[in-house]
Structure 1
């Protein structure tokens, strides 16, 4: 039985190249290519469930961090291999924390991709020397990690947090952000999940503690 793979990347040329490369491997088959996490979720909800996901980080609508976390919480059996141009320590740690089983840079050699796929399928994980080095670096107590980077908050979520720390209602916040109340509900749910809080009050307290907002 071949291992089924979904490729999630907003760069169509990259997605197509990855698909062509993976199709050359006898042990794997590409189920589909999609442009972002939201499209992946839609396919999964239609029962088009891959065994492994090649996941980019920087994508519109639903990025890699959000997608990985959703998969971790809803389909933990789906293995994730992050594939990105981003070599920042906080991005690597963030993806692994959100459920990725491995992390590859897009500049890797074809044999490294095959090696990573095989390792994840057979062992359940793949850590290259580069990723291992970044993990060790992150354990250094002198390494400072910005709270926004650590929580993987995007610009719109930060805007939401700052407005939510006022006396504005969610409807008024939606008006200020020029989005619908439903979109603001989405920001709230995402921020609550990333910050590990359940109420607006605790979110505000945590935002102040982390100096995301100042009194």
Structure 2
């Protein structure tokens, strides 16, 4: 009982810290600050991962991912020409399902800490008024994984619209996967696939 109460206290404390950080300067965060807050929260999730469990990581990460990512733009871009043929209800359904799956994927992957830390390498301008923030995850054995975050400015805030990990575009992977489904089936099938994947993550 004590361990369970302690876990809830840890989650509440971390959520309060994260919320306060985002609220301090809601309209003044530059792209690097957005990435720094995201990565600091990912490290928290890893450090507390086994103690708070999947559900705790989900609660910790959800508000930060929703604030730092433009999930609606990501799924719209991934669907490409298929987006135009969707009804309003279908668009709302796929955005909701995709958002839940994205958050669940983070909670599943960032589950334990072995001394890793993130380091911001550079920030540079991209075409179409976008910004790239390059970061590296330095692992315990000093090997690194490079994360290139592409952000655009929307709703008075910089938000992530793509992540390139060691040269592999996450958006490109999603576009290929989702379009392969839609070429054979419909949006309801894709929604069902993503819901099943999300449910599976929660059972791991």
Larger helix percent: 2
- Which TM-score band (shorter chain)? under 0.3
Larger radius of gyration: 1
TM-score computed with the length of structure 1 as normaliser: 0.22
Higher relative contact order (CA 8 A, sep 6+): 2
TM-score computed with the length of structure 2 as normaliser: 0.23
